C-alpha cells in the first residue's frame, strides 16, 4: 500500500512537471514600426536642438501577485522598447523640422516625460491542488506624455506638448502565482522571457499592446504637429523636405483578434491593421 501511494505521488509529480513546458505560450512583442522616414535631409538652418533622454514616471496600483507575474515582466520590457523607439523617432522629427541635433550650445532643448499608470482591481485568489494558486483580476493602463520645447536663450519661453492614450477598458485576466502547497509547488508560473506568457493571457496582452502602439503613434503625431519649424537666418522656407508619415487614427486596430494569432506556432504570422502597422510579428 505504501509503495502504491509513493507511485501515485511520483506520477502526479511527473504530470505536474510535464505540464510546465506547455503552461506558456509565445506572444511576440509589439512592433514599434518606424513612423518617420528612415533617411532625411536636414535643411541647413543652423538652428540646434538638444533632445534629452525621456524620463519615465510610474504610478501603479496593483497587487503584489501582479508585480511578480509574467505579464508585468512583459509590460516592463514594452516600456523599455517604447522609450527607445520614441527617442529615435524624435530625432528624425527634429531633423524633419530643420533642426541640427547637438548636445552642446543648443538653441533649443526638448524635455520629455512619460507617465504610465497601471491599475489592477478586483483581484481574487483561488487555489486548486493540481493547478496551484491563481489570481483573477481586471487591469487597465493609462499613458501620458508631456514634452517641453524650451528656448535655451530665453528659458521662460516654453511650448508644452502633451498626448495620452489608454486601454479601451479594464481587461480581464487570470494568471498563476507560486504556491507552496500540493503539486502546484512544482509548477513553473514565471518566465524571464518577455515573449513567454502563461496560457490565457494572449488576449490581455493583445489589448495592452494596442494601447502601447496607440500611445506611440499619438505621441509622435502630436510632436510633429506642434514642434515649431526651424528657420535659417534668411527666413527661407524649407521646401521639398520629406514629410512625416502621419497615421489615420480612426482606422487603427480595427481588425478582430485571431485566437490562433498567438499560438506557439504563430511566430511567422502577422496581424496588421488598416494602416499597415504590424501588431505582432
Supply the range of the domain harboring residue 54: 43-228+262-280
DSSP-assigned states of every residue in 211-270: HHHHHHHHHHHHHHHHSPPP--TT----TTPPPP----GGGTT-SPP-TTTTSTT-TT--
100 with 48: CB under 8 angstroms? yes
Q: Find all residues with CB under 8 Å of 4, minimum gap 6, and list them.
A: none
Confidence of residue 268 (pLDDT cuts 50, 70, 90): very low
- Residue 76 belongs to a domain: yes
- Residue 254 belongs to a domain: no
Q: What is the pLDDT of residues 16-62, one digit of tens each?
A: 444 444 688 999 999 887 766 656 566 667 899 999 999 999 999 99
Q: Is 40 helix (H, G, I), strand (E, B) or coil?
A: coil
User: CA dihedral in degrees (56, 61, 66, 69; nearest 10)?
Assistant: 0
Burial 153-173 (b: 16+ CB within 10 A, else e): eeeeeeeebebebebeebbeb
Burial of 213 (0-12, 13-18, 19+ CB in 10 A): buried
User: CA dihedral in degrees (12, 16, 17, 23; nearest 10)?
Assistant: 160
Per-residue confidence (pLDDT) for residue 43, from 0 to 100: 65
Number of domains in the chain: 1
| Range with lowest mean pLDDT among 27-36, 156-165, 258-267 | 258-267
- Residue 141 belongs to a domain: yes
- Residue 38 belongs to a domain: no
| Range with lowest mean pLDDT among 25-34, 68-77, 177-186, 234-243 | 234-243
- Residue 274 belongs to a domain: yes
Write the DSSP symbol of residue 66: H
Per-residue confidence (pLDDT) for residue 272, from 0 to 100: 38
Which contacts qualify for 252-256: CB closer than 8 Å, 24 or more apart?
252/213, 252/214, 252/217, 252/277, 253/210, 253/213, 253/214, 253/279
Confidence of residue 93 (pLDDT cuts 50, 70, 90): very high
Check the CA dihedral 212-217-220-221 and report its sign.
Answer: negative
**pLDDT > 90 fraction of the chain, expressed in percent and rounded:** 54
Please say if the pLDDT value at position 146 is more than 80: yes
* Angle, vertex CA 259, rays to CA 204 and CA 175, nearest 5: 35
The H or E element that residue 92 is part of is: helix 70-96
- Residue 1 belongs to a domain: no
Please say if the pLDDT value at position 122 is more than 80: yes
Per-residue confidence (pLDDT) for residue 38, from 0 to 100: 58
Please report, for the domain that includes residue 216, its CATH number: 3.30.160
Q: Is 174 helix (H, G, I), strand (E, B) or coil?
A: strand
Q: Is 70 helix (H, G, I), strand (E, B) or coil?
A: helix
Write the Ramachandran bin of 186: left for phi over 0, alpha for psi from -120 to 50, otherwise beta. alpha
Q: What is the pLDDT of residues 230-261, one digit of tens each?
A: 975 444 444 444 444 443 343 433 333 444 44
- Residue 233 belongs to a domain: no
pTM to 2 decimals?
0.75
Per-residue confidence (pLDDT) for residue 14, from 0 to 100: 41
Higher pLDDT pick, 151 / 193: 151
Give the up-direction half-sphere exposure of residue 17: CA atoms within 13 A in the CB hemisphere. Answer: 6
Interatomic CA distance for residues 201 and 132, integer angstroms: 17
Please say if the pLDDT value at position 267 is more than 90: no
- Residue 179 belongs to a domain: yes
Mean pLDDT of the chain: 77
Arithmetic mean of pLDDT, 99-128 = 94
Amino acid at each position: 500500500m505504501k509503495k502504491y501511494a509513493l507511485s501515485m505521488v511520483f506520477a502526479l509529480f511527473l504530470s505536474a512537471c510535464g505540464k510546465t513546458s506547455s503552461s506558456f505560450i509565445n506572444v511576440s512583442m509589439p512592433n514599434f514600426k518606424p513612423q518617420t522616414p528612415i533617411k532625411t535631409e536636414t535643411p541647413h538652418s543652423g538652428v540646434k536642438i538638444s533632445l534629452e533622454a525621456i524620463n519615465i514616471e510610474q504610478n501603479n496600483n496593483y497587487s503584489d501577485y501582479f508585480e511578480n507575474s509574467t505579464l508585468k515582466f512583459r509590460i516592463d520590457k514594452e516600456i523599455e522598447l517604447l522609450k527607445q523607439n520614441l527617442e529615435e523617432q524624435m530625432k528624425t522629427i527634429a531633423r524633419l523640422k530643420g533642426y541640427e541635433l547637438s548636445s552642446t550650445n543648443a538653441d533649443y532643448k526638448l524635455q520629455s516625460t512619460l507617465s504610465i499608470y497601471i491599475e489592477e482591481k478586483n483581484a481574487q485568489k483561488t487555489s486548486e491542488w493540481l493547478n496551484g494558486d491563481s489570481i483573477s483580476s481586471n487591469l487597465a493602463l493609462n499613458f501620458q506624455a508631456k514634452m517641453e520645447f524650451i528656448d535655451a536663450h530665453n528659458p521662460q519661453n516654453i511650448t508644452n506638448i502633451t498626448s495620452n492614450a489608454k486601454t479601451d477598458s479594464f481587461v480581464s485576466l487570470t494568471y498563476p502565482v507560486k504556491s507552496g502547497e500540493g503539486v502546484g509547488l512544482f509548477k513553473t508560473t514565471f518566465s524571464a522571457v518577455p515573449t513567454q506568457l502563461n496560457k490565457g493571457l494572449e488576449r490581455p496582452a493583445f489589448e495592452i499592446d494596442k494601447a502601447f502602439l496607440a500611445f506611440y503613434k499619438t505621441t509622435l503625431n502630436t510632436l510633429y504637429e506642434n514642434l515649431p519649424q526651424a528657420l535659417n537666418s534668411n527666413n527661407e522656407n524649407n521646401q521639398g523636405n520629406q514629410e512625416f508619415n502621419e497615421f489615420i487614427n480612426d482606422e487603427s486596430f480595427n481588425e478582430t483578434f485571431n485566437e490562433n494569432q498567438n499560438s506557439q506556432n504563430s511566430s511567422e504570422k502577422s496581424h496588421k491593421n488598416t494602416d499597415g502597422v504590424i501588431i505582432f510579428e
